[in-house]
Structure formats: C-alpha cells, structure tokens
Structure 1
C-alpha cells in the first residue's frame, strides 16, 4: 500500500481531533489479531502497511491465500497503546473485507474444480470506488482471476458499443488502438458469438445466457471450426447458488461480480493481551 493511500485512509478514520484513543495512557502494549471463523485470509500486506506507518511491530505466520481456522492468530503486535488503538479498526476493516472476498472466491473456485480443471473464475469491475485494486487482489488470493483492473487493460466491446457502432466496426476500431491489447466482445446470441469469433475477437463473453444456451453456443463454435481460436467467457447473473450449472458447460472463464459485491465480511478481532504500567 502506498504511503499516500495509508495516510488517506488514516485521515478518514482519525479525523482532526482523535478524542477516543488519546484518553489512553500511551505506554508499550501487546495485542493479537485473530479470526473468529474459518476463512481464506487476505489483506495481510495492507494491514502490515498500516502497522508500519504507526510504528507497530507486527509478526505473522500467514500470507494472502492461506486457509485459516477459527481462533488462529493472524498478527502479534507490539507498540504504543495509542498507536495500536488507532490502527485497530482500519486494519480490521481491510482484513475482514478482503478475507471475505478471498473466502467466497475460494469456495467458488473449489466448486468449479469439481467439474472442470481449466475453467477460470474471475471477478468484474463491479468494485468499491477507491479500493478496487485491493478487492481484486483479494480475488487473486482466493484463487480467482482479476480480469481487467481498468479500461486500459483490454478492449471490451459491450452491448452499448454494439448499439452505437455495430460489432464489425467496433472490432476494427479496437484493432487500431493497440496490437498488445486483447479484444473481448459481449454477445447475447450464438449467432453473434460466431460473428465475433470470425471477426477476430480474442474473447467472446456470453452475457446472461443460461447453461443450456451456452452449451449450444459452444457446439456451434466447434461446428464452425472457431472454438479453438477464441476464449469463451460466461457472465451475468452467476452466483454460488447456480455456479455448478455453468461449471459443467465447458466455458473457459466464468466471471462473477458477486465475488466482490456480495461477499460477506469475515469476523476478525484485535485483543490487547498485555500493557506495561
């Protein structure tokens, strides 16, 4: 985490007159951070950046992506009492939120692996403004694919692009932008998937298609000799509840905005265990 990011988060949390932490005698103290439930942990480096800024000595045996059991100690902290209290909520917010994303992602990846060894589970750009990179890195910690971090990573031609300029014109324009960026086209029918593949799209995203329609589309691409020349992504309305049906289709990528915006925070706490008189 960059220092300017840490300072921005601290400014938001402490305000200009911290009357909560400064009432405590500022003496050396020790504390632990532990999880109250099983999880896949993420946010280790973000929390560590906060501790470093406050001059807190932090030790951990874990890294992002490790599976933790209820009661595991994530960090052992030593530092000034006021600094530990000031770092508490901010570090716990990152650990709880990002571990929730990593845990949900890991569960989804494990579910897909029961049916396919090659299908990737990816997130989308449905992220919280200001902390996208942290949320996407939490997806990676859970074994998922980060997809695009921003609009500069690849060209995605979506439905509104197509309404404004058509598939063929959009793909031609995308090719002129850069030879290094992949081109992804969002389609809503098997016919458009074939057209996009014929026009040289690198990735075809099947938007809001039911699993049976996806299988039919994949079969049509195979029949046309196009299946091996394009990656096929399924997206739209996919959740842990219906993930199995999509995992069985044979698509290359399943993207889920729900990995981030429907993840549940993990219950993680900080407890002071010793202070000097």
Structure 2
C-alpha cells in the first residue's frame, strides 16, 4: 500500500451519521474501507505511516480505498497531516445541526458513563472553546482549515438532515464525488447504525465493564454472549435538553453558523429554527 493508493477520507463530523455513510459504501464490493475508525491523523499519528498503510492490507486493485474517522474534522492537527500524506485524496464531510450534534454527543458519553447527569454543566456555553461537546459543532474554522489546503472540488460537504430526508440521493452525491457508478436506490437503508433510543446495557455497568471490552469483542456474536447481553440491556433515560439550554446553544452557535453559510454558500438558518436551508456547495 502506498499513499497514492488511498483515494478518499470521510472526515466527520462526529454524531452526524458518518458511520451510516461508511456502511453504505462498504456494501459496494468496489469499495474498501477498514474498520474500526483509524483516527491516525488525529489520535494515533505517532504510530507512523507504515502502521497506517498496513490497515488497508487486503484491498484489491479494482477497489477504491478510503477510511472514515470522525475526529479528523475537529482535531486542529489533522488537516495538515492529511494534506502532507494524501494531497490527492477526495474528502467527504457530513455536518449536522450543531445543537442536535452537541446533545447527541453528550448522550453518547452519558450512556457510556463518561459524562455526568448535570447536562446544564456539561453543555455550559460559558466555558467557551475547549469543551468537546461545544467544539464539535464549530464547523467554520474546521472546514476552513481543509479548504486552505485543498481545492474546493476535492471536498464534498453534506448534511445529516438531507440524509434523513433522502438517503439514496445523499449516497449518490458521495458516489459521484468518489467516481463510483450510481447505486440502486432500493438498496439504501435509512436506518441509522447507532440509535440512542435502542435499549442498552446500563451506564454504570458499561463503565465497570469498560476495561474488558477489547477482550470480549471477538465473542460479541456468540449465542451465549448475545443471550447474556439481552438479560442486561434496558432503555436509557437521558437528561433532557431543556428549552432554555437549547436557546443558549442556539445563541452560542449562531455566529459560527452564519460564517459557515457564507463559506459554503448555503442558507443554514434552518438549523437554528429560523428560515429554510438550501445549498449550492457540493
């Protein structure tokens, strides 16, 4: 594997159904993507390029090759690292209403036992930059970092809300960007890969079992494992996003959403409960 053999990256945003995009592409035998997320250009860059290239072993000459790591968008070191190794790669980013994205990210860490139940403190806009939940939705600077390094036609910007409305059309945009033939729209599944409404192992037990998770992963499909998990799962009760907290988040994101709209030539005011949205940037 060489750098020039890696054709594309899905770079984020987190909690914007990028895993759905990955699964939809992996259903095509002409696409090769490793699992799980590599996070090479963000969290594990010290492992070196040789390690990164080994993750693509097994791909065929007739496949286009890429990977998905949602941390590549909000990590400030990732854009320069990506461009240095993969200046030719096509990039795909899927964005989501930043308020909903922040709440979804919070819910994910809450059910893992990694975020507390005081949602007002966790999503406190007074903390400003530095808070994971808030920073993940500050898309303007994140996209600018890539557009400063890549031609606009190498970066495809998509929206989570459009995926929900018409998954077939969303996937067709991605496939066209990557130079793939159009897929049969009947084969596109709108079901999200991860859904916070599904019953899960309780957050306390998830936290206690966290250290052994890598050890049991190979047995997740074993009938005994499946049976045991069914006895432990239940519906998670998430702290609610109050109207007052939502209003503070809207105020927090409004300047960034306006700048993002100017950057990508899109009306994004619908995200914050105002006018509709349309885009000409693809």
Higher relative contact order (CA 8 A, sep 6+): 1
Higher strand share: 1
The TM-score by the shorter chain falls in which range?
A: under 0.3
Structure with larger Rg: 1
Normalising by the residue count of structure 2, what TM-score does the alignment of the two structures yield?
A: 0.23
